[in-house]
């Protein structure tokens, strides 16, 4: 098996989910006592969030790039950024190491394309919904059309992520608000909604309940791509 370097802690709540899903996947694939060979660098999310708020993306990319270089020195053979938002600075991070990147947009785009989806809604942080990095990746590489909620809903989706989910708080009223936003995206013609923040699946279970359109969880899809890479099932 290949050793994967993971940039985590953004937030640690979702990094725990990554760790569990990747190890469960490797155990199912390999059997017995098998677990995933991982190198984890977990950052202080408070520092990263401050750089995000101040739009200091170059500094954020440098911070994570230096962490990626450390993972490479520690023996990692590939790199996973365990967050959607910080793929915004993926090109900067890649300047600091020679590790191949398992891009969250590729894992998500392949699943959407295989399912025959063409027009998808994006739920995530304000940066993911309003900046172009993930939307353009999906549109250019997988011929998808991406939609986002209106401004008021974007504000609320973002607030719930930072004030609740990243701090381990699961609020029923917020779950209902997300359901409303998903329904509105479906009404606008979306044939799927992407949970494009690694914390959202803590609150929203795509397999639980009747959703107006299928939900695609980037955390689970990214973790599965990691399992495939670790075990050698994909390049």
List the catalytic residues: 83, 197
Which CA distances in Å does 150 have to 92, 146, 171, 179, 189? 30, 13, 22, 14, 14
Which CA distances in Å does 38 have to 52, 80, 92? 27, 10, 22
Write out the two tokens for 7: 């940039």
d(CA 85, CA 39): 21
**Beta-bridge partner residues of 194:** 122, 216
Q: Which residues, 6+ apart, have CB-to-CB distance to 67 below 8 Å?
A: 7, 41, 43
Residue 232, exposed/middle/buried by CB under 10 A (0-12, 13-18, 19+)? exposed
d(CA 159, CA 47): 18
d(CA 139, CA 148): 14
d(CA 46, CA 10): 9
Cis peptide bond N-terminal to 11, omega within 30:
yes
d(CA 187, CA 34): 45
């Amino acid at each position: 098996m290949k050793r994967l370097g993971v940039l985590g802690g953004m937030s640690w709540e979702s990094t725990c989910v990554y760790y569990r899903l990747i190890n469960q996947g490797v155990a199912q694939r390999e059997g017995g006592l098998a677990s995933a060979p991982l190198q984890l660098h977990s950052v202080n999310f408070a520092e990263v969030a401050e750089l995000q708020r101040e739009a200091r993306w170059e500094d954020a990319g440098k911070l994570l790039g230096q962490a990626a270089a450390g993972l490479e020195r520690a023996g990692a053979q590939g790199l996973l950024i365990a967050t959607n938002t910080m793929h915004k600075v993926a090109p900067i991070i890649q300047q600091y190491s020679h590790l191949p990147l398992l891009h969250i947009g590729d894992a998500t785009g392949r699943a959407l394309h295989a399912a025959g989806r063409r027009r998808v809604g994006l739920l995530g942080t304000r940066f993911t919904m309003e900046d172009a990095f993930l939307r353009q990746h999906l549109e250019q590489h997988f011929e998808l059309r991406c939609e986002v909620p209106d401004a008021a809903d974007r504000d609320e989706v973002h607030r719930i992520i930072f004030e609740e989910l990243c701090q381990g708080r699961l609020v029923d009223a917020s779950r209902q608000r997300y359901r409303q936003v998903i329904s509105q995206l479906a009404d606008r013609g979306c044939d799927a909604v992407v949970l494009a923040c690694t914390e959202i699946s803590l609150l929203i279970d795509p397999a639980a309940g009747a959703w107006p359109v299928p939900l695609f969880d980037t955390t689970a899809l990214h973790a599965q791509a990691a399992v495939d890479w670790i075990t050698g099932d994909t390049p």
